[in-house]
């Protein structure tokens, strides 16, 4: 059956997505670690685990499973609430619901809240994905302040090979990541990299600095404030804002030191579970 194209006029608040099954296979995790450069925490409690931002893929694909993606849809914000490690070999069931549609400064945003559970019936994560519906102009917005270097920063060259391999792992074929002409039609100077490549770099920053604690439980809330262009080197940084609970301001910067992602990450104390 042909899927309808994602259409703002037919979307409705309360609309459900899924269930979508996603296999966290060893091959998929190895490919994801290779493309993102994240080889930090690989085992928790004797079980092989995946970087938690691999959950981006089922949370996005769940919508694509119902609708044919509309070219030019942009990932505007992503929130992860991590409740348990993402085990290698797990079969995840992801469900979601459209919770909000809003118009802001002439742009159309929609929010899907999702839940991921493993085959043991355990909820391992909740997510909130904000999409920006296509318009004729997606030029970058104003910058926001940077964070300092309390955490040891990590960097990644986002070259064409990284973008291609990330696309192959995640299945995102949005033409703005592949075609300069498609990107220019939306007001961008050329094709852009997937925003969550920078999100994956933040997860790597947190895993390398916080260790297993980040893999066990945490929250990451990020906004994409500027596109990443192929050939740029991204650097993820973090600064401690509070210690009980542990909360950090996080940022991903491009070669010019300008933020492409801003947000916060928190890890509950032992008392909070």
The rounded Cα 183 to chain-centroid distance in angstroms is: 20
pLDDT at 269: 64
pLDDT at 254: 97
- On whether the CB atoms of residues 259 and 143 are closer than 8 A, the answer is yes
d(CA 145, CA 143): 7
DSSP string, 183-242: HHTTT-SS-B--HHHHHHHHHHHHHHHHTHHHHHSEEEEEEE-SPPBTTEEEEEEEEEEE
pLDDT at 74: 86
pLDDT at 272: 52
- On whether the CB atoms of residues 64 and 102 are closer than 8 A, the answer is no
Q: SS3 for 250?
A: strand
Q: What is the pTM of this model?
A: 0.85
pLDDT at 58: 93
> Which tokens is 170 given?
């995640």
Which is nearest to 216 in space by CA: 44, 30, 26?
A: 44
- Rg, the chain, Cα only: 18
pLDDT at 205: 96
pLDDT at 260: 97
pLDDT at 13: 97
- On whether the CB atoms of residues 18 and 82 are closer than 8 A, the answer is no
Which residues, at least 6 apart from 91, have a Cβ–Cβ distance to it below 8 Å? 21, 22, 23, 24, 118, 119
pLDDT at 173: 76
pLDDT at 140: 43
| Domains (range + CATH), the chain | 16-272 (3.10.129.10)
d(CA 82, CA 209): 17
Encode the chain (273 residues) as per-residue pLDDT tens digits.
Answer: 688 999 999 999 999 999 999 999 999 999 999 999 999 999 999 999 999 999 999 998 889 889 988 877 889 999 999 999 999 999 999 999 999 999 987 889 999 999 999 999 999 999 999 999 986 554 444 333 334 448 999 999 999 999 999 998 988 878 888 889 988 988 889 999 999 999 999 999 999 998 988 988 999 999 999 999 999 999 999 999 988 888 999 999 999 999 999 999 998 765 454
CA dihedral 40, 45, 49, 51 (to 10 degrees): -50
CA dihedral 221, 223, 228, 234 (to 10 degrees): -40
């Amino acid at each position: 059956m042909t899927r309808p194209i994602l259409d703002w006029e037919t979307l409705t608040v309360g609309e459900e997505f899924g269930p979508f099954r996603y296999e966290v296979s060893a091959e998929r995790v190895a490919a994801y670690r290779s493309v993102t450069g994240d080889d930090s925490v690989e085992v928790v409690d004797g079980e092989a685990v995946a970087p938690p931002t691999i959950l981006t893929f089922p949370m996005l694909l769940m919508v694509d499973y119902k609708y044919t993606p509309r070219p030019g849809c942009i990932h505007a914000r992503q929130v992860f609430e991590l409740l348990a490690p993402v085990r290698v070999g797990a079969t995840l069931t992801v469900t979601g619901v459209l919770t909000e549609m809003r118009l802001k400064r002439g742009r159309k945003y929609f929010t899907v809240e999702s839940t991921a559970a493993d085959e043991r019936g355990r909820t391992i994560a909740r997510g909130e994905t904000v999409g920006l519906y296509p318009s004729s102009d997606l030029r970058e917005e104003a910058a926001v302040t940077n964070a300092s270097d309390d955490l040891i920063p990590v960097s990644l060259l986002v070259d064409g090979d990284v973008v291609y391999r990330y696309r192959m792992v995640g299945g995102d074929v949005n033409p703005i990541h592949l075609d300069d002409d498609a990107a220019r039609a939306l007001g961008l100077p050329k094709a852009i990299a997937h925003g969550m490549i920078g999100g994956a770099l933040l997860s790597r920053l947190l895993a390398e600095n916080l260790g297993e604690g980040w893999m066990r439980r945490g929250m990451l809330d990020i906004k994409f404030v500027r596109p990443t262009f192929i050939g740029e080197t991204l650097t993820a940084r973090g600064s401690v804002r509070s210690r009980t609970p542990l909360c950090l301001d996080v940022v991903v910067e491009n070669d010019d030191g300008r933020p492409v992602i801003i947000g916060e990450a928190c890890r509950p104390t032992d008392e909070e579970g």
